[in-house]
């Protein structure tokens, strides 16, 4: 079956018309802009939960586990070693030599040795 330009343009116009005709039926929800904004401005009596303004209690020590000790992970270890109150508790990587390098960084900065997880899944 050979297609030509005229048939292609006819099918394109027909398809575009079908999509445009069906658009308003599912795009309109029945809500007006005014009814949507009034609920926000006046409040509709429903409790809305959000975390705006929430402050968690202060932690003396933040314990962190790092998964993946490639470029970003090894850089994260060196940065986190400089922050007071941070303890790196777990190191995980597919390659054990990366974990060994990260453990050396921890030892050099006077941090305790972290648990190790490596190998295949």
Q: Which fold has domain 62-118?
A: Rossmann fold (3.40.50)
Predicted TM-score (pTM) of the model is: 0.55
Could you read off the pLDDT of 64-90 as tens digits, one per residue? 999 999 989 999 999 999 999 999 999
3-state secondary structure the chain: CCCCHHHHHHHHHHHHHHHHHHHHHHHCCCCCHHHHHHHHHHCCCCCCCCCCCCCCCCCCCEEEEEECCCHHHHHHHHHHCCCCCEEEEEEEECCHHHHHHHHHHHHHCCCCCCEEEECCC
**All structural domains of the chain with their residue ranges:** 62-118
pLDDT tens column, 33-65: 666 555 555 556 666 677 788 888 999 999 999
């Amino acid at each position: 079956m050979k297609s030509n330009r005229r048939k292609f343009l006819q099918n394109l116009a027909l398809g575009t018309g079908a999509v445009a005709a069906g658009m308003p039926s599912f795009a309109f929800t029945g809500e007006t802009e005014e009814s949507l904004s009034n609920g926000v401005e006046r409040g509709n009596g429903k409790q809305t939960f959000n975390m705006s303004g929430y402050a968690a209690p202060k932690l003396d020590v933040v314990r962190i586990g790092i998964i993946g000790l490639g470029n970003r992970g090894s850089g994260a270890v060196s940065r986190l070693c400089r922050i007071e109150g941070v303890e790196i508790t777990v190191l995980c990587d597919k390659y054990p030599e990366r974990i060994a390098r990260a453990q050396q960084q921890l030892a050099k900065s006077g941090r305790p040795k972290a648990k190790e997880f490596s190998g295949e899944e």
